[in-house]
Amino acid sequence: MSIFIDEDVCNGCGRAEETLCERICPGDLLFRNERHKAEIRSQADCWTCGACVKACPVQAIDLKLPTQILESNVSLRAKCTKHETVWEIRNGNIIKEEIVIPATTWNGTKS
């Protein structure tokens, strides 16, 4: 498994035309399913780039290692603030480590 989408947390990005993860996935792998949740069409096609993990506004997506590399409970979650990316290295529900990294110095507004 490359990403895990927690359907209890995912809100399907409300009434947006498409979910933010669907909008961003460079491989066009995500879609909104009949339960109005984000779903990946093929785990095997995932690049593990983490674009969806960073884009998710409610942190419903965890980056995982594909089992072919290592079967493990460890996952990565990210929260993007204006100037930083806050990463959580998790083991199941336990946050093992938090790493905060500067992401942009841009102060302007998005147009």
Partner 1 sequence: MIPIFLVGRVSIPDVIHLFNIMTDLSTVNLDTDILIIGGGAAGCMAAIEAKKTDPNIRCIIMEKAHIERSGCLAMGLNAINAYLNNGQTPEIYTKYIKDEFFGVIREDLVYSIAEGLNESVKQVEELGLPIEKDHNGDYVTRGKRSIRIFGERLKPILADAVYRAKVGVLNRVAATNFIFDGERVRGAYGFNSRDGKLYVVHARAVIVTTGGASGIYKPIKKGDARNTTWYCPWNVGTGYAMGIRIGAEMTSFENRFIPLRVKGVNAPTGTIAQGSDIMHRNAQGEEYLEERYKHLGGERCLSIYRLLATLQEEKSGNGPCSLDTRGLSVEAEEKLKTAYLNMNPAIVLLWANEGYSPGKRPVEISGMEPVVIGGHCQAGYWIDRERRTTIKGLYAAGDVAGGAPKKYVSGAWVEAKIAVRTAIDEIADIELLHVSDDEVNREKERIARCINGREGLSHEELERILHETMDEYAGGATAHYELTESKLIIARDKLKEIEEKLQDLRAKDNHELVSCLELIDRLDVAKVLIAHLLYRQETRWPVFQTRTDYPERDDTNWLGFVNSIYDPVNDRVKIVKRELNETLCNI
Determine the 3-state secondary structure of 94 from DSSP.
Answer: strand
CB 70 to partner 1: min, Å: 6
Residues near partner 1 (CB under 8 A), total: 51
- Check binding of 51 to partner 1 (CB under 8 A): yes
Task: Determine, following the binding rule CB under 8 A, whether residue 81 of this chain makes contact with partner 1.
Answer: no
Question: Can you give the binding site for partner 1, defined by CB under 8 A?
Answer: 1-2, 18, 23-28, 41, 43-51, 53-55, 63-70, 72, 74-76, 80, 85, 87, 89, 91, 96-97, 99, 101-106, 108, 110-111
